[in-house]
Amino acid sequence: MFKNYLKIAWRNLLRNRGFSVLNIAGLSIGLAATALIVLWVDYELSFNKFHERGDRIYQVYNQYPVDGEIWTWNSTPKIMGPTIKKDFPEVERVSRYNYDDTYLFSVGDKRMKATGTIVDPDFLYMFSFPLINGSRETVLADVNSLVVTETFAKELFGENDPMGQVVKIDNNDVFKISGVLKDLPSNSGFHFKFLIPWSYLKQIGHDDKHWGNNSIATYIMLKENTDYASFLDKIGNLREIYDKDSADMVTYPYPFFRNYLYGEFENGEEVGGRIAIIRLFSIIAFIILLIACINFMNLSTARSEKRAKEVGIRKVIGAQRGGLISQFMGESILLSVLSALFAFVLVLLVLPKFNELLQTEVRIDYTDPIFWSSALGIIVFTGLLAGSYPALYLSAFKPISVLKGTFQKLNSKFSARKVLVVVQFAAAIVFITSTLIVKQQLNKVQNRQMGYSKDNLIYTYMEGDVKQKYQGIRNELIASGAATSVTRTVSPVTENWSNSWDMEWQGKDFDDKTLILRFTAGEAIAKTLGLEVLAGRDLNHTLYPSDSTAMLINETAAEHMGFDEPIGNIVKDMGMDWRIIGVVKDFVFTSPFQKIEPVIIHGNGEWTNFIHLKLNPKNTMSQNLAQVESIFEKFNPEYPFNYEFVDQQYANKFIDEQRTQTLANLSALLTIFISCLGLFGLASYMAENRIKEIGVRKVLGASVQSIASLLSLDFLKLVLISVTLAVPISWYLMSKWLQDFAYRVTISWWTFALAGVLALVIAFLTVSYQAVKAAIVNPVDSLRDE
């Protein structure tokens, strides 16, 4: 029996090649899109899960009440780790992590930069990073030991054995390779190329016991069977014991496994994080697959008349409905299997571009039984879901009605097929609307006034001898004509590295906990960045040496501080008095999607790490960069000259939203394409059922245009219903999305109107082919059997 069903299914596919191609195309695209998203979701959910003891590892967070809200952050003092290990017997191991930094490595004449970090010896006990060479008991024991990844070892020493080899870091200290790690997997939350022991930080005097210096990450591993809730209550008041100035601050160990997906907090409560994007992708995958299945249903039932007599004859000779359902479901699963094969090819072709778009390393693990079982499950589920309605519909035909030709309900105002088309196009319109609104939001923010000029502006990190020779470098850069202005800063102008609510000024409210952003700069900061000075003047240490204790503030800070005349007022910060000498126009310092915050700019040029250069627009970019590079090589020959364009770094702030827009574009394109296949099927079904009506109308004098309009109007009504349903759904979803941005667009009525018109045009073009085709049929052919 199964063999017979298989033969019939195969013959039906070959007999109706056009509809088979449409069915397989729709399902293949739906399955391929779903497979890509499922692979990505599985990749995201696997982040950091390879650590064998990860369920016992926690990252230490802080929580502190500010302005009626509880702030949560994960930077901690250096002293916290050792204190926790000393005071809490529930803690088995502790490791501090000094965040990633870039160092210059020298081996003979070879020089290269690499990113790594400084950790405690317990780090390799806690986290599952396997060692190829060396023992975790000793690799970080010596103050000058160095652990490198396998790839970085080859970059340094080629195919030579790296163990025991000597490396100089930043032209200062010599380290010996004590261990080689396997390369970190792509689904790791850590991205270092080397590890340096914490004892080295002590040796160079950068370790401190100040509880107010929240500058590193601290990880702890609890002993087995430790009750987390009890430990949480016990450790909460740690700050109160050791730091009276932070008595209200709560120490909060947060599960390491949840950090990547859920580490976002509002008012002290976990509110999600990256998991929101994963859920969004998962919903989109399900919608695309559902629309593909709906398309299959419509195309299958559109051919019902061709199968009706077959069903009637089978029932007359004794076939049961259950057997017919099995037959049709088998055909559906066969189509699903064929579609899955084409989908697999599509996935292999698209996967590299997909990874490039999302900046991931998703791959197919052919040895993973979960992959094959999941693939089989999706294929069977798709076949059952897509085939359920056609199987139930076709198997329900009554033999007498079928053989008499009276089973159709012509011109039915309501049918399941029409409902399915409405659902398809409603989803498509939601995606079209989302695409338009995301694009509007991006355009609004990208065209926002930044408050500074990013054109011809670059920055470079001060390393080696640059800090000591800064004035000479600055003078020569300007004298050479390569730069029109030069300044030094604590961080790139596109990033904020410091903030505080503890600043004091005359008239400040005692309860004011407003966070004020800090920026530190040298001479000519306003001139170099193109900041507009609204009052006072720019920093100028040459004419005014006292500017080392001077300060610039932005408009928002001036308004917040409440000064009638800000110039000359004193702000106390970091144990010093800073005199305000200028007010600059507000500029975008952090996220361009958020409101402008108060900013102060310290004038102490010694507290800086970067040089910003305004390149001379009269020269070509290549001329300027070549001249700048030669000057840095002259003053700092041991270090290669590296730089970043400010406009490119600013553009990076839009990457996540641009990915969202691309996702919305692709989702809209896929849903529209698959929906049009479904609409094509329904148009074919309607034209097939009304062929004799069309013949009669033509005999009575109806024109091709009037008949085509009559048939098209029915489908346009369905699309109008879809628009009516999609508009409130789109408005709700996009309003929720826009709430995350303080600087956002207002949703306009024309957005929904445009999406509706686009849907109507696409539907009309899809349906018009079938309508015109049916209208030009010779009535003699359609009425011959009458």
* 451-491 per-position pLDDT tens digit: 999 999 999 999 888 999 999 999 999 999 999 999 999 99
Shortest CA distance to 487 belongs to which of 526, 538, 516, 523?
523
pLDDT value of residue 304: 58
pLDDT value of residue 305: 57
Asked if 311 and 397 count as a contact pair (C-beta separation under 8 A), the reply is yes
Pairwise CA distance, residues 381 & 379, whole Å? 5
pLDDT value of residue 482: 95
pLDDT value of residue 397: 61
Cross-strand partners of 220: 58, 94
Cross-strand partners of 91: 222
The amino acid present at 41, given as its one-letter code, is: V
**Entry pTM:** 0.82
Pairwise CA distance, residues 458 & 626, whole Å? 13
Segments of the chain scoring below 70 in pLDDT: 1-18, 301-319, 321-324, 389-415, 681, 685, 688-689, 775, 778-786
Pairwise CA distance, residues 386 & 34, whole Å? 15
pLDDT value of residue 271: 85
Shortest CA distance to 696 belongs to which of 705, 685, 707?
707
φ and ψ at residue 745, rounded to 5 degrees: -80, 160
Query: Which of helix, strand or coil describes residue 449?
Result: coil
Pairwise CA distance, residues 524 & 517, whole Å? 20
Average pLDDT of the chain to the nearest whole number:
86
Asked if 760 and 720 count as a contact pair (C-beta separation under 8 A), the reply is yes
* 88-146 per-position pLDDT tens digit: 999 999 999 998 888 899 998 888 989 999 999 999 999 999 999 999 989 999 999 99
Asked if 600 and 503 count as a contact pair (C-beta separation under 8 A), the reply is yes
* 590-608 per-position pLDDT tens digit: 888 888 999 999 998 888 9
pLDDT value of residue 410: 43
Q: What's the token pair of residue 628? A: 């700048």
